[in-house]
Amino acid sequence: MIMYRFKNLTALAALLAGVTACTTGDGRTPLVVYSPHGRELLQAFEQAFEARRPDVDLQWIDMGSQEVLDRIRSEKANPQADVWWGAPAALFQTAAEEGLLEPYGPTWATTLPTEMRDEGALWHATYITPEVIAYNTEAVTGDDIPRDWDDLLDPRWRDKVLIRDPLASGTMRTIFGMIIDRSLRATGDTAAGMEWLRRLDAQTREYVPNPTLLYQKLARQEGLVTLWAMPDIDELKAKTGLPIGYVIPRSGTPLVVDGIAVVRNTRRPELAREFVEFVGSDEGMILAAREHFRLPARPDLPADSLPEWVHTARQQLVPEPLDWDRLQRESASWMRYWDENIRGRGRR
């Protein structure tokens, strides 16, 4: 996705390209995947899966994880996707409760900790995605680099923070949810968390509609810092050479459980299950880790088959003790309040 987005500039182009791909007819059986994982990863898995199944035309549409959930909801009566791949577990749990997912237990599911899979086998974890603070490495150096979440509230970052629009982004909803959850743990109320988000809003130059523009604006120094997912920044650095780096927050960071599921009433259930099986297999996990900087959720993969960065990340990460059940229950109302009462109002 990253290289594609930089060539085509907008997520809309990526979406239209995916839709166009869904209209091709070459005699193969289509398998449709909705995912926020981006062109680079999705294309790699398309090629790998089609090499195993040359009779299959794997088609994917890349959009934000919240957008995937909204789309699957709207298509409930006539599902267009076969597989949903990629989103925080809270979104998958919401979809499970709304009857949008089909139960399926892949063979690798038993290797996962219980908190990384649905008890009814409606979704299973694929990756762990840490959230980090990213910055332009040419403009922000040395002691100026923000090391923790509260550092972003320093006056030096006023009008220099870029934020991916949280209403469409599972990543940003999780980070905002972490701030509110911290407030609840410390005070029993959301007020302190909402005030923190109001202060962040006062620092924010722009709420960017898609990751493509976020990366571009950060590279062009239209903003100097942002909050985002570690694997995306790693892949961005490796494959574009843009001056963007990140730090893992010292006080703790959400370790997002990123899942996969078969869409309920898919027209191709057997193929959908086969793809889910492949994504979580040894081959699929190692491909994602080595080539696309994904941190595997499976703890049983041979250590010598994984790149060194995986072992380093596992040592450095400080997990945030986030109440994921509360996040799943309350996130929508928190974001609605933020959108109606905080967005664009922090400077007042």
DSSP states of 289-320 as a string? Answer: HHHH--EES-S-S-GGGS-HHHHHHHHH--B-
pLDDT of residue 19: 42
Residue type, 162: L
Q: Is residue 348 part of a domain?
A: no
Kindly report the pTM of this predicted structure. Answer: 0.82
Q: Which of 15-24, 50-59, 189-198 has the lowest mean pLDDT?
A: 15-24
Q: What is the pLDDT of residues 252-277, one digit of tens each?
A: 999 999 999 999 999 999 999 999 99
Q: What is the pLDDT of residues 218-254, one digit of tens each?
A: 999 999 999 999 999 998 888 898 999 999 999 999 9
Same domain for 210 and 79: no
Would you say residue 3 has pLDDT above 70? Answer: no
Domain that holds residue 149: 129-254+319-341
Task: Count other Cβ atoms within 10 Å, centred on residue 21.
Answer: 16
pLDDT of residue 30: 97
pLDDT of residue 348: 64
Q: Is residue 266 part of a domain?
A: yes
Same domain for 124 and 161: no
End-to-end CA distance of the chain: 37
Same domain for 215 and 156: yes
Same domain for 93 and 136: no
Domain count within the chain: 2
CATH number for 147? 3.40.190.10
Question: Among candidates 214, 219, 36, which has minimal Cα distance to 140?
Answer: 219
Task: Count other Cβ atoms within 10 Å, centred on residue 231.
Answer: 24
Mean pLDDT of 128-139: 97
Q: Is residue 25 part of a domain?
A: yes
Q: Is residue 179 part of a domain?
A: yes
Same domain for 292 and 144: no
Same domain for 135 and 117: no
Would you say residue 167 has pLDDT above 80? Answer: yes
Same domain for 228 and 165: yes
Q: What is the pLDDT of residues 201-213, one digit of tens each?
A: 999 999 999 998 9
Q: Is residue 346 part of a domain?
A: no
Same domain for 116 and 11: yes
Same domain for 123 and 191: no
Q: Is residue 347 part of a domain?
A: no
